């Protein structure tokens, strides 16, 4: 084990006051780990993480605004994460996003000590989270359900976009541009992955670069050689390829 | 007991049917005094039908099974011969008696002419009786099977209700235990209070599982305990506004009816929200009806689809208890989520609840 050198900075993220106070109490026995902040929801966690640059996140999963996985999806990867939750069903997903440990509430002071030792090893060896965005999004979504909302950082702003508010999505290399609520936002994702995550009865791949919310379609018009154009209810248009048209018609039942 | 002799069974109809059949031997007799012939055959045929009722037991003892045809046929054949002889003999005796009347004095003579034919009729009558009883036995068997089935269905339904009720969520327990563990560090008195509340809540749910119907007051205090435990965990974020009118408190409701709805609100509308709207629960009795209302805020961007398990569960239990006499309605807008329950206001003394 490496000799402890510098102080390690901990950010506690939990929406329950007793849970935060418990962590603070347990951490008193570990003077090297100093609590640099406490967040009571996902957005606060994001802000504090940006300002305070913690080494370790003690992260609850179910929280108001953003949940633990959504927070991780938006945070710079150079930190260690220990999940603390009463739900054991997130464990697999937690390790998919390279969490250091997964503590099931209620846990003992000894159990936290073990987790801290593990975190120390990871930090010392520099083996921190480096997870591709799709895996994170997958983890945020959970195994069976479809993605119900997208969380996107747009400059300083964090957007929570319900799936139903998405009009269409345009893929551009490693990015997708999400058109929603009369604006558009960029996020680092692939169109394939987003297509796989969203509800297939609502979103259809109408073109190599376009994913379309079928409820927005007003009509389909011919457009050039063999291809078509989907006209949306607000007048915007989305190109539709030949195979895309078949998929769209199948979904619309026309 | 013979099925025709059981209360409210159609023995008179059966005998009336046989009275009708007495026309057959009457025609055979072809008496010069038709009224005498009819009287004679009416009495002997109906008497025969009544006397052969014990064939029921013979038919039950001799079920129609493949491979036993010979045995069944020979026994019933013998029985037919005996019964037919008895039929002829009693008819003769009756004819002698009626022949004592001067205008009917030819009856015994007329009868002795058609004795052979009468014997045949008696045998056929017996076979008719036996057939009738076999049909009756089969109907009884089916009826018993149906009853068994519905009894089984009833117990399956009870088991299902049991399963629907037995649902203290482990997450609630784990979260609460974590709160207790934390409170021990900085507020031992509150930790103790939490333990007591939790124990009372758990005991309440266990007791509720043994009872189909409980006074609303009990269900209500169970929910209050649940909310108090959650309040320790969520602090300011949980605001509750409860309103229970006195008349409603005494009404009987299915046990653990309200609790899943309160828990639902907690999971979907209180815990995920930072600035919560209060959870409002109201119970009112209006005449013979009990109305329950739960109102809570809505998560503007839900992460998961609403589970609806709690709601489906409550709906299923209402249906099992009251059929279509109880309703669960949901009103939903971007601001609030409202669950409206309407059920018969049964009370322990009136026993209005079915």
B188-226 pLDDT, tens digit each: 999 999 999 999 999 988 887 777 789 999 999 999 999
- Residue pair A136/A72 in contact (Cβ under 8 Å)? The answer is yes
* Better pLDDT: B272 or A211: A211
For chain B, say whether A37 makes contact (Cβ under 8 Å): no
- For residue A60, the chain B residues in CB contact (below 8 A) are none
pLDDT band at B300 (very low <50, low <70, confident <90, very high): confident
For chain A, say whether B273 makes contact (Cβ under 8 Å): yes
For chain A, say whether B180 makes contact (Cβ under 8 Å): yes
Taking residues A67-76, report their average pLDDT: 84
Residue A106 to residue B271, Cβ atoms within 8 A? no
* Dist. CA B252–CA B241, nearest whole Å: 22
* Dist. CA A251–CA B8, nearest whole Å: 62
- Closest CB to B272: pick one of A16, A64, A87: A64
pLDDT of residue B13: 86
- For residue B171, the chain A residues in CB contact (below 8 A) are 86-87
Strands A203-207 and A210-213: antiparallel
pLDDT of residue A140: 58
pLDDT band at A2 (very low <50, low <70, confident <90, very high): very low
pLDDT in tens, B333-343: 888 889 999 99
- For residue B304, the chain A residues in CB contact (below 8 A) are 142, 145, 148
Residue B271 to residue A64, Cβ atoms within 8 A? yes
* Dist. CA A212–CA A195, nearest whole Å: 10
pLDDT in tens, B3-24: 777 766 778 888 888 989 888 8
For chain B, say whether A5 makes contact (Cβ under 8 Å): no
List the structure tokens of B161.
């209700």
Taking residues A68-75, report their average pLDDT: 85
The residues facing B253 across adjacent strands are: B214
Residue B178 to residue A86, Cβ atoms within 8 A? yes
* Better pLDDT: A39 or B28: A39
* Dist. CA A145–CA A199, nearest whole Å: 8
For chain B, say whether A199 makes contact (Cβ under 8 Å): no
pLDDT of residue B351: 47
Looking at chain B, which residue has its C-alpha nearest residue A69? B303
- For residue B232, the chain A residues in CB contact (below 8 A) are 18
Q: Which of A64, A14, A42 is nearest to B267 (CA)?
A: A64
**% of chain A residues with pLDDT over 70:** 90
Among A2-6, B52-56, B122-126, where is mean pLDDT lowest?
A: A2-6
pLDDT of residue A1: 45
What does pLDDT average to over chain A?
A: 86
In terms of phi and psi (left: phi > 0; alpha: psi -120 to 50; beta: otherwise), the region of B302 is beta
pLDDT of residue B353: 41
* Better pLDDT: B351 or B81: B81
pLDDT in tens, A123-157: 988 766 665 555 665 665 555 567 888 888 887 78
Taking residues B256-267, report their average pLDDT: 88
- For residue B303, the chain A residues in CB contact (below 8 A) are 67, 70, 148-149
Q: Which of B300, B292, B284, B282 is nearest to B336 (CA)?
A: B300
Residue A65 to residue B274, Cβ atoms within 8 A? yes
pLDDT of residue B354: 41
Q: How close B279 comes to chain A (CA, Å)? A: 17
- For residue A67, the chain B residues in CB contact (below 8 A) are 303
Taking residues A228-232, report their average pLDDT: 90
Residue A148 to residue B178, Cβ atoms within 8 A? no
- Closest CB to A149: pick one of B181, B183, B303: B303
pLDDT band at B271 (very low <50, low <70, confident <90, very high): confident
- For residue A18, the chain B residues in CB contact (below 8 A) are 178-179, 182-183, 232-233
* Dist. CA B334–CA B302, nearest whole Å: 12
Taking residues A199-214, report their average pLDDT: 91
What ipTM, to 2 d.p.?
Answer: 0.74
Looking at chain B, which residue has its C-alpha nearest residue A68? B303
pLDDT of residue A133: 55
Q: What number of C-beta contacts closer than 8 Å exist between A and B?
A: 71
- For residue B179, the chain A residues in CB contact (below 8 A) are 16, 18-19
Q: Which of A30, A36, A133 is nearest to A76 (CA)?
A: A133
* Better pLDDT: A6 or B339: B339
Residues 6+ apart with CB under 8 A from B163: none
List the structure tokens of B86.
């008895």
């Amino acid at each position: 084990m490496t000799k402890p050198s510098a102080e390690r900075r901990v950010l506690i993220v939990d929406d329950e006051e007793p849970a935060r106070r418990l962590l603070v109490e347990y951490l008193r026995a570990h003077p090297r780990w100093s609590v640099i902040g406490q967040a009571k929801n996902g957005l606060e966690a994001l802000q504090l993480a940006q300002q305070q640059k913690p080494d370790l996140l003690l992260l609850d999963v179910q929280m108001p605004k953003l949940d633990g996985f959504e927070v991780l999806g938006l945070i710079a990867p150079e930190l260690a994460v220990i999940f603390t939750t009463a739900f054991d069903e997130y464990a697999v997903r937690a390790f998919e996003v390279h969490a250091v440990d997964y503590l099931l509430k209620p846990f003992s002071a000894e159990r936290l000590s073990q987790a801290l030792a593990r975190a120390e090893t990871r930090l010392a060896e520099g083996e921190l989270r480096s997870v591709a965005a799709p895996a994170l999004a997958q983890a945020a979504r959970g195994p069976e359900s479809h993605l119900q909302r997208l969380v996107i950082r747009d400059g300083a702003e964090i957007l929570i976009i319900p799936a139903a508010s998405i009009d269409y999505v345009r893929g551009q290399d490693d990015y997708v541009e999400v058109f929603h609520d009369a604006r558009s936002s960029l996020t680092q994702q692939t169109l394939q992955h987003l297509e796989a995550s969203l509800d297939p009865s609502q979103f259809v791949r109408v073109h190599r670069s376009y994913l379309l919310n079928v409820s927005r379609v007003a009509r389909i018009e011919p457009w050039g050689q063999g291809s078509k154009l989907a006209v949306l209810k607000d007048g915007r248009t989305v190109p539709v390829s030949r195979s895309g048209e078949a998929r769209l018609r199948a979904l619309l039942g026309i | 007991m013979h099925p025709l002799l059981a209360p409210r069974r159609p023995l008179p109809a059966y005998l009336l049917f046989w009275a009708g059949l007495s026309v057959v031997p009457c025609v055979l007799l072809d008496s010069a005094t038709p009224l005498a012939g009819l009287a004679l055959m009416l009495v002997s045929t109906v008497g025969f039908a009544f006397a052969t009722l014990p064939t029921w037991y013979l038919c039950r003892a001799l079920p129609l099974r493949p491979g036993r045809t010979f045995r069944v046929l020979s026994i019933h054949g013998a029985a037919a011969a005996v019964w037919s002889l008895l039929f002829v003999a009693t008819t003769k005796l009756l004819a002698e008696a009626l022949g004592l009347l001067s205008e009917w004095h030819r009856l015994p003579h007329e009868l002795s002419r058609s004795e052979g034919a009468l014997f045949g009729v008696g045998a056929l009558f017996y076979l008719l009786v036996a057939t009738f009883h076999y049909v009756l036995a089969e109907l009884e068997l089916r009826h018993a099977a149906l009853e068994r089935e519905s009894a089984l269905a009833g117990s399956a339904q009870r088991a299902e209700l049991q399963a629907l009720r037995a649902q203290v969520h482990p997450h609630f327990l784990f979260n609460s235990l974590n709160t207790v563990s934390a409170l021990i560090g900085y507020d031992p008195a509150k930790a103790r209070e939490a333990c007591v509340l939790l124990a009372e809540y758990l005991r309440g749910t266990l007791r509720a599982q043994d009872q189909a119907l409980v006074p609303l007051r009990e269900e209500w205090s169970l929910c209050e305990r649940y909310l108090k435990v959650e309040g320790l965990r969520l602090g300011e974020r949980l605001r509750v506004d409860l309103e229970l009118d006195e008349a409603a408190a005494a009404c009987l409701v299915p046990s653990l009816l309200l609790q899943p709805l309160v828990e639902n609100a907690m999971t979907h509308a209180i815990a995920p929200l930072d600035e919560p709207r209060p959870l409002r629960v109201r119970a009112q009795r209006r005449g013979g009806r009990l109305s329950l209302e739960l109102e809570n805020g809505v998560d503007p961007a839900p992460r998961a689809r609403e589970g609806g398990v709690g709601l489906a569960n409550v709906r299923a239990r209402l249906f099992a208890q009251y059929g279509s006499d109880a309703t669960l309605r949901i009103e939903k807008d971007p601001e609030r989520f409202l669950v409206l329950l309407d059920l018969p206001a049964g009370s322990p003394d009136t026993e209005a609840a079915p």
